Amino acid sequence: MMFYSYIHFTPDLTPFYVGKGHGPRWAALSPKHRNFLHAKLVRKYGQENILKTKIDCSSEEIAFELEKGLIKCFKRNGIKLTNLTDGGEGMYGHAPTPETRKKLSDALKGKPKTEEHKIKVGIANKGKVRSLEHKAAVSKAQKGRKATFEARMKISLGNKGKEKPKVICPHCQKIGGISTMRRWHFDNCKEQSNG
């Protein structure tokens, strides 16, 4: 796998971002793959006007060192980059430790998400197929959790006035809400076991 360092420039050839990657990463300008400062500049000039270059490296370690060196050099020369760090992070295939995950989780807790953010997350997750292992892990993490009174009230208010779809059990012909019917009817229906 070929790794490289890359630079993004504004139309007047001012560098504004330095990164490290492999594959098509250097050319990707989508805001879902970039930090908010990078996304803001790309919006300002338009994706088609952003200039890009990459420097191939013989290893990932060299690509990281080059990334750090370029960031340091540009900053020393008074060039304002949209990078949020000094580079050298994000090892390919690296999984963050539980401590790091907890720190990130704690930092994000209580921060309200904009409607735009929620819509983007929804679109990004649409059609994703979760593995059985992933589903089991989510299920295990949710077991024993009790929603707070505030959370239950929000759910209740959000559902008020919504028309809930009804389904019919093919075994006993009972009609009800999807979640309840799935639990007590269809494959679990007493009429089916008696029949």
Strand order in the sheet with 15-22: 15-22, 3-9, 51-57
- Dihedral angle sign, alpha carbons of residues 159, 124, 88, 51: negative
Number of domains within the chain? 2
- Is the pTM here over 0.75, yes or no? no
Final residue of a domain: which of 76, 100, 134?
A: 76
Confidence of residue 193 (pLDDT cuts 50, 70, 90): low
Residue 107 lies in a domain: no
Final residue of a domain: which of 76, 95, 114?
A: 76
Q: What is the pLDDT of residues 156-173, one digit of tens each?
A: 877 777 777 788 888 888
Residue 72 lies in a domain: yes
Residue 93 lies in a domain: no
Q: What is the pLDDT of residues 112-132, one digit of tens each?
A: 777 777 777 777 677 777 788
- Taking residue 107's Cβ as centre, other Cβ atoms within 10 Å add up to 9
**Structural domain containing residue 180:** 164-195
Q: For residues 182-188, give the mean pLDDT.
A: 86
Final residue of a domain: which of 20, 53, 76?
A: 76
Q: What is the pLDDT of residues 38-59, one digit of tens each?
A: 999 999 999 999 999 999 999 9
Residue 103 lies in a domain: no
Determine the Cα angle at 16 with ends 15 and 20, to 5°.
90
* Chain Cα centroid distance, residue 20: 19
